[in-house]
Amino acid sequence: MAVSERIGNGSDAAAELRAAAHRLDAGDALRPVRDRFTLPGDVVYLDGNSLGALPKAVPDRLAHVVAHEWGALGICSWTESGWWEAPERVGELIAPLVGAAPGQVVVGDSTSVNLFKALVAAVRLAGDGRDEVLVDSSAFPTDGYLAEAAVRLTGHRLVPVLPAEVPGRLGPRTAAVLLNHVDYRTGRLHDLPGLTAAVHEAGAYAVWDLCHSAGALPVGLDAHGVDLAVGCTYKYLNGGPGAPAFLYVRAAHQAAFDSPLPGWNSHAEPFGMRSAYTRAEGVTAARVGTPDILSLLALEAALGVWEGVDLAAVRAKSLALTDFFLECVDRYVPPGRLESVTPAAHEERGSQLALRTPLAAALMPRLIARGVVGDFRPPDLLRFGFTPLYVGFADAERAARVLAEELGAVGSTAG
């Protein structure tokens, strides 16, 4: 049911929409989770798709790590404080958020490094006789850069394609396919189950970039047979700026997983200091070098906000929030001033909205000055990320109202 049908069609749109937001917030089962975050006062924070808000548990945890584990225990913390096992331990916290059984997720390195490891490993799993790698041409540019580097290393040919073109482009020469789950610009959600099945039917391996879906919606890596996946942890997982990324290696592939970046952390005897490399068993083989302990343990504390949270409820609220925001925009903004480039269909929408206007570059700084924080993507997109754990319906109404006011102000100035 559309919001306008729920609230009626009276003349006072602001009063009606605020009343609707109040009712929706009052019935929001996730509303108490907001108190687990430190949020800037009087700010509507809609940039969690770039950097998540600060969980309240993180500062004290970091203070303890610095003062006690590093300061008092020093190097003994590798064993006494569990630093050495942290990449796998934190991976176990992320695993249920992406639909993975234990023993398949490890945390460390950046998304870029993990993408490179995953794609080269997928090509090596495919073996001889397959010389093409398909890459999502609409993905974040780094994905393409790394795919080019991967094929230079492996001697394969790179084929850029849009996700919708993948089924028709697959063939006996396809070794691996690298796809983005949610388009970082538009918020379009791609068909992970269907595309993974198509890749497997062609005898190839599927690698998914989950940067804009992990923590925003159910992913179902195990259920849908994904081979390898990577994702950052500083967006919807709220791990902090530059927090280490995660890498998923399906259990069935771990014995044959061949990383292009073998390091001492992935050695079967890391402290044996042997000149010959013998890979560790399981997902530990995906580690490389010494983990970034401060960021890793900050992430571990941040993941505590997910205790008792149902991802299905997160997804339901995400869709309700984005529907409500679009309804508010429709009520507040005159027709023709903004174009939503995010799909209207729920099955094709992530947890962000992208609105197109030629005034976007001038408009976003004004919104931020008014306490509505989103971001701008050239040449003409306003992006708004809706993190259901801490964004409410009143936030969505206020953001749409301020957007309409500033759009009118910028438009009159431009005119």
Strands 105-107 and 37-38: unpaired
Position 2 scores a pLDDT of 40
| pLDDT at res. 3 | 40
3-state helix, strand, coil in the chain (%, to 5): 45, 15, 40
86: burial class by Cβ within 10 Å (0-12, 13-18, 19+)?
buried
389 pLDDT higher than 60: yes
Please report which confidence band the pLDDT of residue 12 belongs to, taking 50, 70 and 90 as the band edges.
Answer: confident
Pick the catalytic residue from 234, 332, 390, 393: 234
Residue 140 designated active-site: yes
Summarised one tens digit per residue, pLDDT across range 239-284 is: 999 999 999 999 999 999 999 999 999 999 999 999 999 999 999 9
**pLDDT value, residue 53:** 98
**40-80 pLDDT per residue, tens:** 889 999 999 999 999 999 999 999 999 999 999 999 999 99
Q: Specify whether 234 is catalytic.
A: yes
Say if residue 11's pLDDT is above 90. Answer: no
Q: Is the pLDDT of residue 4 over 50?
A: no
Q: What pTM did the predictor assign?
A: 0.95
In a 13 Å sphere around the CA of 336, the CA atoms on its Cβ side amount to 1
Region for 12 from its dihedrals, namely left if φ exceeds 0, alpha if ψ lies in -120 to 50, beta otherwise = beta
Residue corresponding to tokens 């050495």: 84
| Residue 380 CB contacts under 8 Å (≥ 6 apart), including other chains | 356, 357, 358, 360, 361
Domains delineated in the chain: 3-38+310-414 (3.90.1150.10), 59-306 (3.40.640.10)
Percent of the chain, pLDDT > 90? 95
pLDDT mean over 206-231: 98
Q: Is the pLDDT of residue 312 over 50?
A: yes
325 in catalytic set: no
Kindly report the backbone phi and psi dihedral angles of residue 135, in degrees, each rounded to the nearest multiple of 5, phi listed first: -130, 140
Q: Catalytic: which of 287, 383, 398, 401?
A: 383
- If you average pLDDT over residues 305-309, what whole number do you get? 98
Q: Reply yes or no on whether the pLDDT at 9 is more than 60.
A: no
**Residue whose tokens read 């690698």:** 207
* Residue whose token pair is 């970034």: 292
pLDDT band, very low/low/confident/very high, at 324 (cuts 50, 70, 90): very high
pLDDT reported for residue 412: 64
Provide mean pLDDT across the span 147-167: 96
pLDDT score at 10: 38
pLDDT band at 151 (very low <50, low <70, confident <90, very high): very high
Nearest to 261 by CA among 93, 114, 41, 60: 114
DSSP state of 47: B
Out of 45, 140, 325, 393, which one is annotated catalytic? 140
Identify the active-site residue in 34, 188, 235, 398: 235
The average confidence (pLDDT) of the chain is 95
Q: What is the pLDDT of residues 131-143, one digit of tens each?
A: 999 999 999 999 9
Per-residue CA distances from 139 to 146, 162, 180, 203, 348 (Å) = 12, 9, 6, 23, 16
262 burial via Cβ count (<10 Å: 0-12, 13-18, 19+): middle
Catalytic residue among 28, 109, 209, 227: 209
The reported pLDDT for the residue numbered 5 is 37
Point out the least confidently predicted range of 6-15, 255-264, 311-320, 356-365: 6-15
pLDDT of residue 1: 30
